[in-house]
Amino acid sequence: MANHKSALKRIRANNRKRLENRYYAKTMRNSLKEIRLMSNKEEASGKLSGVVSLIDKLAKKGIIHKNKAANLKSGLMKKINSL
């Protein structure tokens, strides 16, 4: 258990950030799954910019690694181009 006020505050802040990061990561995974299951190229390419933007924001914040973001975006582009 923490012995200082600042340590207690850090624990609270870390818990808040952890929950927020989990929310954004889960949102990203859901949108990736949604776009991967699409079979209509026009509809998928319409949603692509929003998903790519979300992935870039998460990489910028450090929630996901920048190389993971690049791999996810590359896979999405390949998937949509193959439709």
Give the tens place of pLDDT for each residue, 28-76: 999 999 999 999 999 999 999 999 999 999 999 999 999 999 999 999 9
- pTM score of the predicted model: 0.83
Domain boundaries, the chain: 5-82
Rounded (5°) CA angle 16-22-27: 130
Distance between CA 81 and CA 41 in Å, rounded? 8
The CATH code belonging to domain 5-82 is 1.20.58.110
